[in-house]
Structure 1
């Protein structure tokens, strides 16, 4: 019966975590207690006389993570299946579904190891550090997918986390774990028969931990005022079928559609037209060094002549040609080398072009994971017709500057879920954030809604407007408080215009970056040494 109860508690935690996750509205506060059932189940295991308790802790917590992840990001399979066979898509989808769960389970397994020797308070401190280290690893290595970072869970309740301008989403992770730990201790103290005064102190601490940050955030939200520095921006949503984009819909027709949509809402003082990811695209892409001579360039400039300070910030499929393999991702074709890019371009009323090459590439789709370490396998992959490098990339973000001096951050697709990466644009002078994406591969699933919601957190962290252009939706404007001011509907051609306020102020988070993650990683090393030393001493 106890084993069954433990599994039911683990399932309850998975259900609460899923229910609290975007885009389900008004449920994010469940995150404050969602881990409590799992912690109770793990406590039962640790106090029992079971054999191999560490394995049971690992499996039970891994089950919770697997169910929560799969239920929340089921749409990943849609995205993979759009560009690869079903069996390959199922395998690649296991990375976000299963790998995250395994890493979560390791955090709990190390927590159990600490509990065998150290007080519960130090053990919980270790658990929080292990969890943060897992989240940071999952946003930095070649299999990165930080979609399920705990702090993202408040994206649809952004009024409660205005303090992300100081902490970023890792502040949310710490907050969620702190409330869950206190809530667990309240329940545990009642079960263990602690004095009522002790329970009241824990309950008061829990209430303060929830109310104080929430109250400060609501006050900040209500009183935050933007400095008026308007710029008129247009976002276009062409609604091009992603399956037809590179086949039966011609590049010329796609460009004409983008121009028509942009003209339908533009005004003489419009300064930026934001077009979605790979909006300027053709089979094989465009040579960046020859694009000025491509027929599309004079067509685009003819459109811009009606807008004195007009700029087009657009996604583009591009490439560069080399005489030798100048980059690790360079491919060889008929004796020449080239890099293909998922890129963004800024086109203005001059011959000047600015390009940005997407840096945060999707593992298995846009990049070959651990390509450097596995470089010796390139001939093997090439012999079997596979990728040997994926897309080229640039290591750091770069800001597009218009002729009038406005700095725009070109953020491509899921780069927008990296808070610290987006903050680096702002450090370099970006006054607003332009997210260009194509969420059409995912279908009409919650993936597109989550992606939009996460952009609200970038607005809060940096206090910058977000102009979001999505091929099939959802396109939107988000203000500096994280409010969605305008948005389109899914799968309809549309264009929006908005006077946004440019901002030059730098938030603490932009300056400090993911300092909480760095501290958590250092703490995880210390606690891991303590946990493993305990295991080593027992084995000797």
Structure 2
């Protein structure tokens, strides 16, 4: 049994080596699951008892080591403001939850192997795996960071066809390659040929070469339609753990304006500032924002730029006279306050546009399963969260400049959701503006992974990405997914870039995750097969 766990460990190491931010290592994903599949097949064909349990723990070992090695920075973020004895168990949620779900997928695969043939079982394995990835972007504990298709962010030249399928096409590609590799190796190890080895090798070669070759051709041949717009992104470098201690909101705004002015041009149309860049000690009332000194400072700054707009993160709130939302706090006397992690667009018109972050970070910006876990709100607030969570809006909304240019205000965590970002584009966004604060994780691979995932959003929608990070990495990504400019870590800076706006819609933008939806049907059929066979 020890050799099987060594094989599971090998899969974990291969998955970690293939994962961003290690550059150009993504093709390892084509074979990364093969050792685990061999270990599971050996278990299934053995005479041992409790095979299902052993399959579960083999898969859990692979998933746990892979996840922990890839997202170790979660603990880094927690331990910066929590005692280690508290930070560690909280970190174990993302470290352990996804591996538990992964292991459950393989446990169901084992059940399918007992009920049906290996071909149908592999279809079920892939379908149920993609169902797990769907769950992990949909439920209250959503964390789609480790979706398999994200692994090619480090070698985006090979997945230009994400403009058709999105990242779930990558997940499917990775799994089919692994299964074909496994069948080829297993037959050679067992000296059998249930399927022609020649056909397997040819199929595998075609599956790797054709999509990769077409992608490389598409990458080299792709030309952007010329529709220029001058954009500035700013990285003020404010320590998120020392905010309001080391610098006041007024000083932060002054710093942002100074950095913007250094690179701003008369024809600059957007100044992108990071998440929560505009703030006040108690937040900013959206209805009264024009009365704040910060708004006057913005107007003075924008006087230099005829068509200029500031698109910035903002800590804001709205006041209601009744319990309008579940997240609104009762302050007595029929006053209810709803806080938001938001974005605002300010120009020289009388109109103010706000967007409220929708994809909130579980445990920090929202209390997962809030109704069932309402008793934990005081504990949640004590550990840095917002009691009851932040307010949000159901659908994304585009922020439009006076000139008519539409920007997608994607706030931090939201940039991991390909389908959500695509909704902005369908509404008319001509480029993607990511405002984030990656300083929570320190100088770890977390900030690099987050930057590289943005390349996939650029490819899926064929839109430039202008990324403003408070203490992370700011920069520009073109429509092919190339990082054209980037700042250094922990260095205050501002960059300017002439980007090309785009109004065309890709197949992915139009039809979304259709690959995933077909896979979910396969998963449902597999579950039905298990239930029917049991009866």
Q: Shorter-chain-normalised TM-score: which range?
A: over 0.9
Aligned to 1:337: 336
Task: Give the equivalent residue in structure 2 for 1:414.
Answer: 413
Whether contact under 8 Å (1:328, 1:372) holds in the other structure is no
The Cα RMSD (Å) is 1.7
Runs of 4+ in 1 over 6 A off after TM superposition: 378-386
- The residue aligned with 2:205 is 207
CA distance in 2 between counterparts of 1:33 and 1:389 reads 44
Q: Paired residue for 1:130? A: 128
Aligned residue for 2:177?
Answer: 179
Aligned to 1:299: 297
SS at match of 1:235: strand
Please show how residues 311-390 of structure 1 align to structure 2 within 5 Å: 311-335=309-333, 336-374=335-373, 377=375, 388-390=387-389
Q: Distance in 2 between matches of 1:72 and 1:44?
A: 28
Normalization by structure 1: what TM-score? 0.96
Match of 1:512 in 2: 511
Aligned residue in 1 for 2:264: 266
CA distance 1:484–1:262, change in 2 (3 Å): same
Kindly indicate whether the alpha-carbon contact (under 8 Å) linking 1:113 and 1:532 is maintained by their aligned counterparts in 2.
no
- In the alignment, the residues of structure 2 paired with residue 159 and residue 88 of structure 1 have an alpha-carbon distance, to the nearest angstrom, of 41
1:311-337 deviation per Cα after TM superposition (whole angstroms, max 9, x unaligned): 000001001111111101111224421
- Judge conservation of contact 2:377–2:388 (CA < 8 Å) in 1: no
Residues 46, 382 of structure 1: alpha-carbon distance in 2 compared, 3 angstrom cutoff: closer
1:85 Cα deviation (Å)?
4.2
1:499 aligned partner: 498
Q: Which deviations, in whole Å up to 9, do the C-alpha atoms of 1:302-357 show, x marking residues without a partner?
A: 00000000000000100111111110111122442111111000000122110001
1:447 is paired with a residue of what secondary structure? Answer: helix
CA distance in 2, matches of 1:83, 1:421: 31
Q: Which residue does the alignment assign to 1:462?
A: 461
Q: Which residue of structure 2 lines up, in the alignment, with residue 447 of structure 1?
A: 446
Instruction: Look up the match of 2:434.
Output: 435
Q: Are positions 1:154 and 2:152 aligned together?
A: yes
Alpha-carbon contact 1:13-1:34 (below 8 Å) kept: yes
Distance of aligned partners of 1:28 and 1:383 in 2 relative to their CA distance in 1, 3 Å threshold? closer
Aligned in 2, Cα 1:384/1:333: closer, same or farther, shift over 3 Å?
farther
Deviations 1:254-282 (A, max 9, x none): 01110000000010000000000001122
1:118 to partner: Cα distance: 1.2
In 2: Cα distance, 1:383 partner to 1:304 partner = 38
* Paired position in structure 2 for 1:249: 247
**Deviations for 1:176-213, whole angstroms, at most 9, x for unmatched residues?**
00000000000011122235991121111111100000
8 Å CA contact 2:367, 2:377 repeated in 1: no
Give, in angstroms, the shift of residue 87 of structure 1: 3.4
Could you tell me which residue of structure 2 aligns to residue 32 of structure 1?
A: 30
Structure 2 portions without partners, runs of 5+: none
Tell which deviates more after alignment, 438-447 or 189-198: 189-198
Cα distance in 1, alignment partners of residues 377 and 90 from structure 2: 22
Structure 1 residues 94-103 or 495-504, which shifts more?
94-103
- CA separation of 1:227 and 1:188: change in aligned 2, threshold 3 A: same
Give 3-state SS (helix, strand or coil) of 2:330's partner: strand
Aligned to 2:119: 121
Q: Distance in 2 between matches of 1:475 and 1:456?
A: 13
Report deviation, 1:86.
3.4
* Gap runs ≥5 in structure 1: none
Deviation at 1:378, TM superposition (A): 7.6
Corresponding residue for residue 192 of structure 1: 190
**Cα distance change, pair 94–434 in 1 and its aligned pair in 2 (3 A):** same
Structure 2 residue matching 1:318: 3-state secondary structure: strand
Q: 1:187 to 1:452 in 2, by over 3 A?
A: same
1:99 to 2:111 alignment: no
Q: Report the alpha carbon displacement of residue 521 of structure 1 after superposing the two structures with TM.
A: 1.7
Give the match for residue 14 of structure 1: 12
1:60 Cα deviation (Å)? 0.7
Match of 1:49 among 44, 47, 50: 47
The offset of 1:371, in angstroms, is 1.4
Distance in 1 between residues matched to 2:196 and 2:290, nearest whole Å: 73
For 1:193 and 1:118, the matched residues in 2 are separated by: 23
SS in 1 for 2:310: strand
Q: Is the 8 A contact 1:107 1:131 kept in 2?
A: yes
- Give the secondary-structure state (helix, strand or coil) at the position aligned to 1:245: coil
> Cα offset for 1:522?
2.0
Distance 1:391 1:149 in 2: 25
Cα deviation for residue 241 of structure 1 reads 1.2
The Cα shift of 1:91 comes to: 2.6
**Whole-angstrom CA distance in 2 between matches of 1:4 and 1:204:** 34
Deviation string for 1:210-237 (max 9, x for gaps)?
A: 0000000000000000000000000000
Q: 1:308 aligns with which of 299, 306, 309?
A: 306
TM-score by length of 2: 0.97
After superposition, what is the alpha-carbon deviation per residue over 1:113-171, rounded to whole angstroms, capped at 9, x for unaligned? 01112111110000000100000000000000000000000001000000000000000
For the Cα contact (< 8 Å) 2:364–2:386, is it kept in 1?
A: no
Q: Secondary structure at the match of 1:309?
A: coil
Shift of 1:79: 2.2
- Counterparts of 1:454 and 1:531 in 2: how far apart (Å)? 36
Contact 2:10 2:35 (C-alpha < 8 Å) held by counterparts = yes
SS at match of 1:339: strand
Are the equivalent residues in 2 in contact too, given 1:381–1:387 (CA < 8 A)? no
